[in-house]
Structure 1
Amino acid sequence: MVRSAGATGVSLLRPVRAGNAFEETVERLLQAIKLGVVGHGEKLPPERELAAQLGISRVTLREAIRALQESGFLDVRRGRYGGAFVVYQPPSPRKGDLRKAVNEMGPGGLEDALTFRMAVECGAAQILAGTDLTAAQRESLAARLAEVNDAAPADYRRMDTAFHLSIAELTGSPLLISACADARLRVTDLLNAIPVLQPNIEHAAVQHAAIVAAILGGDPEAARRAVAEHLEGTAALLRGFLS
């Protein structure tokens, strides 16, 4: 099942447009898989439920799943305990991968992606900090922080993604969740092309804690500043590996 509970999975798997139903279904499923909303070894929601979420026929859904199976992202198993299981795993970083990913973005693509991410994630944190949060929302944010702090290096990027997306998720805005997911997806291949460094994890943990403290403390400007500082650090790390 979708690991990232709540609005995130719903927003990423929102109804597609009828004119390009197959293509958009593939896109939505790939986004959920690459962002780790459905992780390696986990199963997509049941066919009937997923088709209803996407607003498509089960025939279109099966065609999209078949395409992703043939592309090596899914393994479809039959029987009582069957379903479509995610087999995709981000590749281990190799020399030259980051440069290749940046080149594929085209001129100015990296800076545009970083600017977009800065705008939407800072905005999400600022909005959430100005919201009267329920006890359940506060607990959810704290739980996501604990998950990324406890993550093993191999699962760190996925839990980091879940933490960042949870901020947009808790605003309750499907459009903002979608924008933050899109922004994260634009840098996912870049982040996967560099190693997970322990000093960076430790530094990020302090910054994540500052973000959560500002949001739970109801300080929108402090939340914006904390996210901006954190994302500037990520941008600096990427530029450092490119230099």
Structure 2
Amino acid sequence: MARDTGPAGAAGDRLAAVLRPVRAGNGFEEALEQILQVVRLGLVPAGERLPAERELAQRLGISRVTLREVLKVLQDQGLVEARRGRYGGTFVRPRADGGGGDELRRRLAGVDIDDVLRFREVLEVGAAGLCAAQGLTDGQARRLREALEHTRDAPPADYRRRDTLLHLTLAESCGSPTLTGQYAAVRAAVNDLLDCIPLLVRNLEHSQRQHAALVEAVLEGDADGARETMREHCAGTAALLRGFLT
């Protein structure tokens, strides 16, 4: 059985999968990258507040001056907004709908879609097989079931965020912070691509059936089944993205 790393359902624990001390030489750049991942992965939903400046600065190992420079960039990009007062702070703004020509070109500039999708598949298939083969603790199994349940009957506008959290929960269950960090990065890139294409109800229904089969295979210790289900799931997303974007 895998070692239980503690409750990961809380927002702080979710952020721990992405936020980590940066290296001194690239503190600003790495802090910006990590907070962008938090926003792009939906770890803090639109309309909700990022952790307080003191907490963020401590997590990242940077000064609050550097952190404020990072948050200013995010404000300038329209990703967050600062509110003053007793209930103030830095809040995540709703993302604009994808599909506009300029926005699409900006997001696709310099992106090797095939490379992103291949790397995503390698990580996801490997994580699914590993979790099934090594087994999950009771706590990990509970969190995976809860993440799956949260994707059921999700409103379309929130489906991709909840889908992301389900996949991130599985990656975290491997017990490898390196794998989790790599997955968070590639999933953020995938989400940027997904934001460029429309939500298709039929695809969401199919995806949800695959999610259920995947979780069942993992919990039953069926490593081959988990890998194959995840491979098929990734292939479906890849087909949509290549169809719309290439």
Q: Residue 244 of structure 2: SS of its match in structure 1?
A: helix
Q: Which residue type is aligned with residue 189 of structure 2? A: R
Mapped contact 2:21–2:61 kept (Cα < 8 A): yes
Point out where structure 2 has 5 or more consecutive residues left out of the alignment. Answer: 1-7
Shift of 1:79: 2.4
Shift of 1:67: 2.2
1:139 counterpart residue number = 142
Q: Which residue type is aligned with residue 11 of structure 1? A: A
Shift of 1:91: 2.1
> What's the TM-score, normalizing by structure 1?
0.90
Mapped contact 2:107–2:192 kept (Cα < 8 A): no
Shift of 1:192: 0.8
2:92 counterpart residue number = 86
> What's the TM-score, normalizing by structure 2?
0.89
What aligned pairs does 1:59-78 form with structure 2 within 5 A after superposition? 59-78=65-84
Q: Which residue type is aligned with residue 172 of structure 2? A: E
Given the alignment of the two structures, is residue 32 of structure 1 paired with residue 38 of structure 2, yes or no? yes
Q: Which residue type is aligned with residue 105 of structure 1? A: G
Which residue of 96, 111, 126 maps to 2:114? 111
Given the alignment of the two structures, is residue 204 of structure 1 paired with residue 207 of structure 2, yes or no? yes
Query: In the superposition, relative to structure 1, how do residues 110 and 102 fare at CA in structure 2: closer, same or farther (>3 Å)?
Result: farther
Mapped contact 1:126–1:220 kept (Cα < 8 A): yes
Query: In the superposition, relative to structure 1, how do residues 207 and 96 fare at CA in structure 2: closer, same or farther (>3 Å)?
Result: farther
RMSD: 2.1
CA offsets, 1:153-198, max 9 Å, x none?
1111111111111111122321111111111122222211111111
Q: Residue 196 of structure 1: SS of its match in structure 2?
A: coil
The number of equivalent residue pairs is: 239
CA offsets, 1:18-61, max 9 Å, x none?
11111211111111101111111111112221111111112211
Shift of 1:150: 2.2
Query: In the superposition, relative to structure 1, how do residues 171 and 5 fare at CA in structure 2: closer, same or farther (>3 Å)?
Result: farther
> Please, which moves more after superposition, 26-35 or 127-136?
127-136
2:225 counterpart residue number = 222
Aligned identity (percent) is 49
Given the alignment of the two structures, is residue 149 of structure 1 paired with residue 152 of structure 2, yes or no? yes
